[in-house]
């Protein structure tokens, strides 16, 4: 079944939940709750990548994430680290994280590929063209599926050349990153075309392109909170399309969606249904 990755932002400025879990105790409690709700992994991030966000010093990022990852690991909660920085990735894995989730796919820090190769952990490489302060201006595609596919192929080649096992790489299309609204949908509708059969993580949770899709009178599409049902719809469709994982704020809703898809697919098999 599709893996559910619960989002835990230990930041003051993330677009949906910034500030809610900036304190260590609150972050730990939230991570435990996500696991209780069924998340297979809790993805801990200490630097916001929302549109327009400024960079955080690496030392501050490490200070935010390592105590939380260490405590969750001790509590038996599986974690990943959401970071663009090699030093943070190393510190987080040493504290217990099992996966490095890098929204830059290794482009933001030249040392990342070597560190991941040394750590021998799974690595999520997202499609990325620019930092948050510049990314909206890079939504320039003639064929978004073909271009994202080529750019991710280049990242895989570079990572493998640096010693990262290809079987350890998961690809993320970077929904909302250098893709403002309409350019996100072809990537969701054509997962196999750009992923070339590799494992795929879909991170659509509460993003603004969902708001644009559900906008109508009486719906404040600019409010991330109203995008949860749309997120769950994308989770179900991603699971049906064979995504390796989904990255979400509401783990319980995502787990329910994945299980419904699994039950539906099992019933469609010849041995799965009997009169």
Q: pLDDT, tens digit, for every residue of 207-264?
A: 999 999 999 999 998 999 999 999 999 999 999 999 999 999 999 999 999 999 999 9
Q: How high is the pLDDT of residue 206?
A: 95
Please pick, among 168, 179, 198, 247, the residue that the annotation labels catalytic. 247
Is-contact 9 50, C-beta < 8 A? no
Q: How high is the pLDDT of residue 67?
A: 96
Is-contact 236 260, C-beta < 8 A? yes
pLDDT at 19 over 70: no
Q: Round the average pLDDT of the chain to a whole number and report it.
A: 94
Q: How large is the average pLDDT for residues 62-80?
A: 97
Residue 252 buriedness (CB in 10 A; 0-12 / 13-18 / 19+): middle
pLDDT at 18 over 60: no
Q: How high is the pLDDT of residue 275?
A: 46
The percentage of the chain sitting over the pLDDT mark of 90, rounded to a whole number, equals: 88
Active site residue 207: yes
pLDDT at 74 over 60: yes
Round to whole Å and give the CA distance between 91 and 97.
9
Torsion on CA atoms 18, 72, 167, 187, rounded to nearest 10: -20
Is-contact 248 37, C-beta < 8 A? no
Task: Give the distance from CA 68 to its chain's centroid.
Answer: 18
| Non-local CB neighbours of 99 within 8 Å, separated by 6+ positions | 41, 80, 81, 121, 122, 123, 124, 170
Round to whole Å and give the CA distance between 221 and 229.
12
Please pick, among 90, 129, 207, 208, the residue that the annotation labels catalytic. 207
Q: Name the nearest CA neighbour of 201 among 116, 100, 92.
A: 100
Q: Name the nearest CA neighbour of 198 among 163, 147, 152.
A: 152
Q: Name the nearest CA neighbour of 10 among 55, 54, 60.
A: 60
Active site residue 150: no
Angle at 33 between CA 63 and CA 208, to 5 degrees: 75
Is-contact 4 249, C-beta < 8 A? no
Torsion on CA atoms 78, 80, 86, 90, rounded to nearest 10: 0
pLDDT at 108 over 60: yes
């Amino acid at each position: 079944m599709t893996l559910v990755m619960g989002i835990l932002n230990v930041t003051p400025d993330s677009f949906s939940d910034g500030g809610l879990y900036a304190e260590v105790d609150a972050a730990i409690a939230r991570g435990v709750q996500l696991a209780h709700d069924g998340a297979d992994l809790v993805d801990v991030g200490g630097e916001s990548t929302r549109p327009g966000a400024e960079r955080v010093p690496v030392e501050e990022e490490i200070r935010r994430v390592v105590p939380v990852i260490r405590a969750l690991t001790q509590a038996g909660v599986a974690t990943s680290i959401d970071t663009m920085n090699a030093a943070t990735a190393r510190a987080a894995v040493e504290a217990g994280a099992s996966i490095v989730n890098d929204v830059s796919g290794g482009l933001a820090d030249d040392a990342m590929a070597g560190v991941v190769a040394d750590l021998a952990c799974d690595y999520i490489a997202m499609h990325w063209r620019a930092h948050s302060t510049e990314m909206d201006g890079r939504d320039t595609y003639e064929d978004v599926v073909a271009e994202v596919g080529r750019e991710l192929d280049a990242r895989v080649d570079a990572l493998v050349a640096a010693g990262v096992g290809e079987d350890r790489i998961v690809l993320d299309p970077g929904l909302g990153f250098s893709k403002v609204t309409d350019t996100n949908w072809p990537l969701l509708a054509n997962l196999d075309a750009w992923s070339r059969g590799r494992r795929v993580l879909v991170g659509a949770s509460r993003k603004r392109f969902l708001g644009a899709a559900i906008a109508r009178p009486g719906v404040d599409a600019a409010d991330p909170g109203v995008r949860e049902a749309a997120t769950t719809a994308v989770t179900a469709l991603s699971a049906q399309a064979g995504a390796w994982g989904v990255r979400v704020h509401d783990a319980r809703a995502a787990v329910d969606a994945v299980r419904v898809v699994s039950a539906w697919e099992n019933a469609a098999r010849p041995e799965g249904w009997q009169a």
